[in-house]
């Protein structure tokens, strides 16, 4: 159930409640914890998905029966590990990272988790790398968590390269409360929402940062 306050944006969780529910439902084993800690340990920005949102993406892909997944925005490999865990033994994740140093950290994390055979890290701009992956498609899912000004381009690629029933997942789609601003970045994110609605059955899940979910029609 919901009430007028929660519909208007009031949330009923605190940091203590989030910590408790995370430990209950989205706890880490050693490999996931190493991946989650890797950005801070390597001097990178710690901007990876929160554990519960990462577990949610894993569960959604598992429910969709995903086998081949693309990620745009690897960082240190935490979300890539979560995505891989949704797939069968012969499944594969292609993840794209712009920063070569971040990509090296991710490869190390993935290797230590013994997932190198199921996760390939590609280095470059998402808009440049995505066309090179089309030969591996159609894909069962794409998770977008990268440069926000390119989300509309990533969404168009997803519409062309996801199988029917495939999942589109986009993080940070509230654009840090700036979604309705008069700026090129906000306009690109709004196009992502609008064009996703045209090709997918969509909902914007009101996580703290906003998570768009689309099912390819």
* pLDDT value for 3: 87
Across the chain, which has 217 residues, the per-10-residue mean pLDDT values are 84 93 97 98 96 98 98 98 98 98 98 98 98 98 98 98 98 98 98 98 96 97
Whether residue 191 contacts residue 152, with contact meaning beta carbons closer than 8 Å, is answered with yes
d(CA 8, CA 75): 33
**Which residues are paired to 143 by β-bridges?**
71, 169
* pLDDT value for 62: 98
d(CA 185, CA 167): 24
* pLDDT value for 9: 86
Task: Give residue 176's region: left, alpha or beta (phi > 0; psi -120 to 50).
Answer: left
What is the value of pTM for the model shown? 0.95
Structural domains in the chain, CATH included, are: 9-216 (3.40.50.150)
d(CA 28, CA 11): 25
* pLDDT value for 33: 98
* pLDDT value for 50: 97
d(CA 40, CA 49): 14
d(CA 103, CA 122): 8
* pLDDT value for 8: 85
Biggest alpha carbon distance in the chain? Answer: 49
Whether residue 178 contacts residue 149, with contact meaning beta carbons closer than 8 Å, is answered with no
Both tokens of 87, joined, read 């797939």
């Amino acid at each position: 159930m919901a009430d007028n306050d929660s519909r208007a944006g009031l949330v009923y969780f605190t940091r203590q409640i989030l910590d408790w529910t995370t430990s209950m439902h989205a706890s880490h084993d050693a490999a996931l914890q190493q991946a989650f800690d890797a950005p801070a340990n390597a001097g990178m920005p710690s901007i990876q998905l929160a554990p519960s949102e990462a577990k949610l993406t894993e569960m959604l892909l598992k429910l969709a029966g995903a086998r081949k997944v693309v990620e745009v925005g690897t960082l240190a490999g935490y979300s890539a590990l979560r995505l891989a865990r949704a797939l069968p033994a012969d499944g594969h994740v292609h993840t794209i990272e712009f920063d070569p140093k971040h990509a090296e950290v991710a490869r190390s994390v993935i290797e230590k988790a013994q997932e190198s055979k199921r996760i390939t890290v590609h280095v470059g701009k998402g808009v440049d790398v995505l066309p090179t992956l089309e030969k591996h498609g159609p894909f069962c899912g794409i998770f977008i968590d990268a440069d926000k000004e390119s989300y509309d381009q990533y969404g168009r690629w997803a519409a062309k390269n996801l199988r029917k029933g495939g999942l589109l997942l986009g993080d940070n789609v509230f654009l840090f409360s700036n979604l309705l601003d008069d700026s090129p970045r906000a306009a690109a994110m709004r196009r992502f929402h609008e064009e996703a609605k045209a090709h997918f059955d969509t909902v914007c899940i009101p996580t703290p940062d906003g998570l768009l979910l689309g099912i390819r029609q």
